[in-house]
Chains A and B, each alone.
Chain A
């Protein structure tokens, strides 16, 4: 029944489409450049569609501009096109190329191009007597935000550029850092309504072609209407969409994109999004800030270790508190026992409710702070952090030990350099809490093994996500949990299976250059 109905529907739809086609054709046949064209019917409903008519002073030929005012820069039209077309010898449509000082002028006969071109900021030029041929003159209005400082991935040292919403501008920033012909930029259009441009960037001869093929195929296969940001792409092309872990790294730093291209990874840029995507990536990469590369390797290794510790602390400390207080009093050192018991003396709630209450309060504060304008957000921080915190301890709702623990855990979760990963970590705490309440430390071990199983199964563009921890790759530890000096980084990461694994000659780097030579 259902299938029959579907078939019927399809037939009707086809019929309607055919009708529209014939209508369009008939419109084209009666085409007169001054009259309404078939393609114009829908355009005319919008108030920003404009059609202007002119007469050439020498030949007396009439011509017409059609354009969408909101997308084009009218001053280009007025200064660089109109004077020449009005005053010079303008007979045939081919003359446009010679007459006006605009590089991007295209002559076309294809009616189906019109819509696309108009929305890309071209002006349609039709000429009296040339019914089938017309010209497109580029006059895009570029409303581009200035290149600003990175806000999410700010670094004290190093470049201060960040991506903007215009893809051309972003590509310009990357091209300047990788000025070689091997840097390939492939362009695709995704989204049935948004027609978003998606660019795949890789370096030919370095990047594994399998990785590029995977990205290319997945982007081509995207079925979605409105792609507004690269975040959509992340979720649409992820290996496992049910995972809370982001499987593509996103960055707003052109320098980072340039660096990962050199490592042999693939970058994806989406028009309208100030964040580039990087893949394949690994879990440890999410805990490396790009600033690590600007610091001495000892410092950056230390900071990375601190960050990893913070993550473990942030996920585990509240569950351990709940488990220890509910089940394992014998594990608590005898000197700590009195502190914990006295702080919990007046509290009517069991440890799990106490912990959930505080954890949810912190989440509320974070949500409120994120939704409110920055100025008001600061007030929220003070109200939440100080007033609610101390008040709930004084009212005897939570113990002050737990307040410190939860606040520290929240603080630790914010040390993750990638914002997306920070969110994941905050979420992970809750299943751990749940199992800590059910089975104590055993529950924490169970949830940890679930987490580990999930991470081991996870892939990023088909490459193992937990590398170099699993599968173990000793050489890739040079830039994972710690970072070795640049001289030791002569090989590209193994898991990327790059076509040219050598970054630079180790021997040459070792040579001591003498001034005399």
Chain B
């Protein structure tokens, strides 16, 4: 009996072996980067970046491009050009050309959503100019896709770029009262890519950008705990200090309805990394703190006013007020948003000034 069961088990196992698709690691083309550009007649040019692992451990880059009318056809076109099946499971970054981003990206992103092998932490970015140009350079020594994703990761974790990825983009997109955003990459030279700002989307269309020097303030408003660095100039003293923000919290408070009024409380704890003057007296530190508070208040208010002007809400005020209001009407919110008053209150604290006294 046991022998019979055992034989049956082995037979069933062998018969079911074909049920899983085999993708042996060195027999597939692993697509790690993807770019979409808009061409004439609304055609889409897709670029697939595949790392080439050379025997001497160097990683090269190889790109396929194909033009098609829809994102579905693109993969077909690309598979036709590839000797080995192109698999999408290790996708690191997807780039959208500026034109493409302005036309709308959700149709393209939809294919990422449906592909179970694509992770939720894929980075999305807008390529200034042409996505294909960015993908076809050679950056770093670990392959372009890894270089680009590391670039975004590093700037998100330690610098001023707010946190973005596929998951957050989709969340913001499907969340009423909040608009998504992506970093903007620009090819500076043949081997250098720079983050030049953040692209703001309304729905799935890019409508506005934030320049790189304002990203610090934007990050303070969007991310709960953020790290970043910022250079500050003390007005009367002609001295400059580079402040590294170690920990910040933001808290929204609905202070008034009809018209809505929101107070944003930002708490910053930071250290001074560089200082042009000689002595950092406690009085001076107080001054810097004050200066920092004022700057953050001003810059954040300007940013919010700017968003209101363009009708985008990347910070998610609408979402916040909805969670506090019974029977919130999103149709009315369109107009209410323009009339929303936002007060920014900052509490800055310098905890460390370095070992030089």
Contact = CB atoms under 8 A, between A and B. Distances in A.
A435 B87 CA distance: 23
Nearest to B22: A326
Interface string A307-328: 0000000000000000011110
Interface string A208-228: 000000000000000000000
Contact of A439 (B17, B87, B143): B17
B90 interface: yes
Interface stretch (A87-95, A106-114, A197-205, A331-339): A331-339
A338 B57 contact: yes
Given A242-B2, A438-B16, A439-B17, A338 B53 contact: yes
B76 interface: no
Contacts, number: 74
B270 interface: no
Contacts of B143: 338
Q: Which of B23, B25, B53, B92 has the most CB of A within 10 A?
A: B25
Contacts of B16: 438-439
A124 to B, nearest CB: 52
A500 B91 CA distance: 64
B20 A442 contact: yes
B152 to A, nearest CB: 14
Contacts of A101: none
B278 interface: no
Given A342-B53, A342-B54, A435-B13, A327 B28 contact: no
Which of B23, B51, B119 has its CB near the most chain A CB atoms (within 10 A)?
A: B23
Nearest to A329: B25
Contacts of B119: 330
Contact of A438 (B2, B13, B89): B13
A340 B27 CA distance: 12
Interface stretch (A72-80, A271-279, A343-351): A343-351
A345 B23 CA distance: 15
A440 interface: yes
Contacts of A347: 26
A326 B319 CA distance: 45
B18 to A, nearest CB: 9
Interface string B1-18: 010000000000110110
**Majority SS of interface residues in chain A?**
helix
B30 interface: yes
Interface residues of A, number: 27
Given A329-B89, A329-B90, A435-B13, A340 B55 contact: no
A341 interface: yes
B26 A341 contact: yes
Interface string B24-68: 111010101000000000000000000101110101000000000
Given A334-B90, A338-B51, A340-B25, A439 B57 contact: no
B117 interface: yes
A488 B231 CA distance: 60
A438 B17 contact: yes
A242 B119 CA distance: 44
A337 B20 contact: no
Given A338-B53, A438-B17, A330 B117 contact: yes
A351 B20 contact: no
Given A337-B90, A338-B57, A329 B51 contact: no
| Most chain A beta carbons < 10 A, residue from B16, B19, B55, B90 | B90
B20 A332 contact: no
A344 B17 contact: no
14 contacts: A325-B25, A334-B146, A335-B142, A337-B90, A338-B53, A338-B143, A339-B57, A341-B25, A342-B53, A342-B54, A342-B57, A345-B53, A350-B24, A438-B16
Interface of A: 242, 324-327, 329-330, 332, 334-335, 337-342, 344-345, 347, 350-351, 435, 437-440, 442
Interface of B: 2, 13-14, 16-17, 19-26, 28, 30, 32, 51, 53-55, 57, 59, 87, 89-90, 92, 117, 119, 142-143, 146
